[in-house]
Amino acid sequence: MYPSTEQIVAANKAATDLVISIANIQVAALERFSALTFNATKSVCEDGLEQAKILMGAKNAQELIGLNSAAAQPSLEKAIAYSRSMYDVALQAQREMTKVLEAHAGEISKGILGSLDTRAMATTPASSAAAAAVKSALAAAGSAYDSLSKISKQASELTEANFTAAIQGVKGRKKTA
């Protein structure tokens, strides 16, 4: 009735593999975040120096204002692109982690069901009824998870659409100004 040493070792290995997979996904996302941030910072510094050189060449206040205004649109577009890239990296990492966690949860569920089937054959009818109740509970939990997963995906898609609409709104407003 108690789990064997092999089962305990296998469960510990699976848990360790899961943690390592999640850590690798997070480190890869951090690496992409760092590269994006470094490149954005570098670009801002280069653009700032270039803009300062351009502004130094202004002959009067009116030209200075015009040159400064002309620099605003590219800066805004770069900020939007940076935000979008950061969002994409976060979304990709979240999807990868979800995939790993779903696979792990499926393996755990299969293991529990297999264990229940094995034990149900070697026990009394009352134990079989209890095993059936546990199986039913697992099926209900799986169904609830599927429903929550669908809702989460819909919320993610709605967030994506709102984010895209907000960016388009800012771009459209800036072009008409």
Structure token pair of residue 45 = 């510094």
Quick one: pLDDT at residue 93?
Answer: 93
Structure token pair of residue 171 = 């771009």
Q: Considering only residues 129 and 85, tell me which one the structure prediction assigns the higher pLDDT.
A: 85
Residue % of the chain over a pLDDT of 90: 27
Average pLDDT (154-171) is 76
Q: How far apart are the first and last CA of the chain?
A: 74
State the Rg of the chain over Cα: 28
Structure token pair of residue 136 = 């039913």
Distance CA 169, CA 73 (A): 14
User: Which of 13-22, 108-117, 136-145 tops mean pLDDT?
Assistant: 13-22
Quick one: pLDDT at residue 35?
Answer: 97
Confidence of residue 139 (pLDDT cuts 50, 70, 90): confident
All residues at 6 or more sequence positions from 138 whose CB lies less than 8 Å from its CB, including other chains: 109, 112, 113
Confidence of residue 175 (pLDDT cuts 50, 70, 90): low
Question: Token match 């134990």: residue?
Answer: 127
| Closest by CA position to 79, among listed 53, 46, 44 | 44
Residue % of the chain over a pLDDT of 70: 87
